[in-house]
Amino acid sequence: MSATLELTKDLISRPSVTPEDLGCQQRLAERLESIGFTIEHLRFGDTDNIWARRGTQSPVFAFAGHTDVVPTGPEENWTSPPFEPVIRDGLLYGRGTADMKGSIAAFVTACERFIANNNDHTGTIAFLITSDEEGPATGGTVKVIETLEARGEKIDWCLVGEPSSTNKVGDIVKNGRRGSLNGYLTVQGKQGHIAYPHLAENPIHLLAPVLTELCAIEWDQGNEDFPPTSFQVSNLNSGTGVTNVIPGTADIIFNFRYSTELTHEQLQQKVEAILDKHQLNYDLKWELSGKPFRTASGALVDAVKVAIKTTTGYDTELSTSGGTSDGRFIAPTGAQVVELGPLNATIHQVDECVSVTDLDTLSEIYETLLDQLLSK
């Protein structure tokens, strides 16, 4: 078995459901130390992180990833146990194979080969690995970046190993992400008997026309880099659970995935103006998960394109679609950020899997990228 497959299987066998790491980072640290990396373990709250460096000079190229995985759901629904990696028909099955322990293993093996041939490479190679990307993301990459910024350490180029590919490995590279803004809204009514509605005020009825208006708005038309801004309700709760009581409150959670055509402040103002227009008695709290970012053509994007073309023979496509990633914490520092990993067809699903061949191809792409950027 290849070195990348072997390491991926090792990591998969550790049930590191967020925010647990369960020794994954220690295993990575051992491999990296053996090829000249200095390892710094950083723990914030319940989250383990490592910041590893080989070199002291700029430019700094960082691999970023996470060792935590989402819960498996009922394990009896899996064809084989989710934390017992098994190969069937050329696919490696297990929780985290695609998101994103396979990428992390490919990071390491790519570095091992690159350093064996380029012991005195230019610049610095770094690893930023966390264990809370799949959770609230409060003690992981965001805290490591704060620590680096406070002491003046900068990342110039960053590759996040999120599963970006669609049909074949490397066909899609994320060079940006939309912003994500959450709203937590409570509409106040007046509880009462359902047979006497004139003595009550139904918050669901009050909320309904507001939701109709919010769902009908064309927030923007997007642009050449981003799709249009979208508004989606994720949770709606009200009622006492019985049939004869008008509820006193209605709670709703909603999300904007927004382009660079709008700011989160503008979205907040528009929503609040609609609520006020309908004269609702409400409480609204906002949570900004990340601002939109985009890495334009330049050294990193160009080198990624060449690495994919050299390794696979086909051209890649740049995209800003999909959800958020830890790139949203790294890009604001001025770093160029891209995301490149395996196919995303089975991520967070039962029987998550990755092609064994794709793991080796991914490792080769990463090695070629290092050649492009840091070879003398």
Assess whether 133 carries a catalytic annotation: yes
Residue 309 sits at φ, ψ, to 5 deg, of: -65, -45
Q: Give the 3-state DSSP-derived string for the chain, with helices as H, strands as E and coil as C.
A: CCHHHHHHHHHHCCCCECCCCCCHHHHHHHHHHCCCCEEEEEEECCEEEEEEEECCCCCEEEEEEECCECCCCCHHHCCCCCCCCEEECCEEECCCHHHHHHHHHHHHHHHHHHHHHCCCCCCEEEEEEECCCCCCCCCCHHHHHHHHHHCCCCCCEEEECCCCECCCCCCEEECEECEEEEEEEEEECECEECCCHHHCECHHHHHHHHHHHHHHCCCCCCCCCCCCCEEEEEEEEECCCCCCEECCEEEEEEEEEECCCCCHHHHHHHHHHHHHHCCCCEEEEEEEEECCEECCCCHHHHHHHHHHHHHHCCCCEEECCCCCCCHHHHHHHCCEEEECCCECCCCCCCCCEEEHHHHHHHHHHHHHHHHHHHCC
**Neighbour count for residue 348 (Cβ, 10 Å):** 14
Residue given tokens 């086909």 in the structure block: 314
Closest CA relative to residue 178, chosen from 234, 233, 227, 231: 227
Q: Is the dihedral of CA 143, 148, 152, 155 positive or negative?
A: negative
State the catalytic residue, choosing from 20, 21, 68, 358. 68
State the catalytic residue, choosing from 21, 48, 112, 133. 133
Residues classed as catalytic: 68, 133
